[in-house]
Amino acid sequence: MKLFIAAIALLIFGLAPLPAQKIEKIGIPGLEKILASPEDQLYVVNFWATWCPPCVTELPYFEKLSKEYQGKGVKFILVSLDFPSQIDSKLIPFLKKNKITADVRLMTNLDYNSWIDKVDPGWQGNLPATLFFNNAEKTKYFHPSEVDEKELRDLITKYKQ
C-alpha cells in the first residue's frame, strides 16, 4: 500500500506544472539601467525572440553557461524582443518547454530604432545579438550574430578579467 501511495504522489507531484517564470518587463529606462551597471562583473546581454530560429538555436548555450558561471562574476540577461501582448501565450510557454531559467527580460518598447544605438551604434537590429560589457573595467564588445557554445565560452573567457 505504501508503494502505491508513493507512486501516486510521484505522479501528482512529478507531473505538477512548474511555476511560471517571472519575466521583468523593461522599456528604455530599464535597458539604460542594465547598460549603466557599475558592478565589476561581465554582463552578457543577449537580444533574441522566440520567432527567430538562430536565437532559438543558441539559447541553450546561454542557459547552460548562465548556470556554469553563476556566482563567478558573469551575469547573463536574455532580453526578449517578443511582442508584450504574447508574454503569456508564447514567451512563457516557450521558456517552460525549453527549460530556460536564466534571467529573462521583455523589452516593451517596440520602436527598436529608438534604443538600438544605446546598445551599440553599429547594430542594424538583426537578431540574435549579444553585448558583453564590464563598465568597471571599461570593457565592451558587441557580437551582431549567432554564437555556438564554444564561441560564447571563448568570448566570456576573453572579456572576463
Residue 3 lies in a domain: no
* CATH number of the domain enclosing 35: 3.40.30.10
Residue 16 domain flag: no
CA distance 46 to 76: 8
Q: Please report whether residue 13 resides in a domain.
A: no
Query: Does the structure show a pLDDT above 80 at 96?
Result: yes
What pLDDT score does 22 carry? 82
pTM: 0.87
First to last CA, the chain: 58
Percent share of the chain, pLDDT over 90: 86
In a domain, 10, yes or no: no
Which tens digit of pLDDT belongs to each residue from 65-92? 999 999 999 999 999 999 999 999 999 9
Looking at the structure of the chain, the number of domains it has is 1
Give the residue numbers spanning the domain of 104.
22-159
pLDDT digit string (tens) for 105-134? Answer: 999 999 999 999 999 999 999 999 999 999
Mean pLDDT computed over 151-157: 98
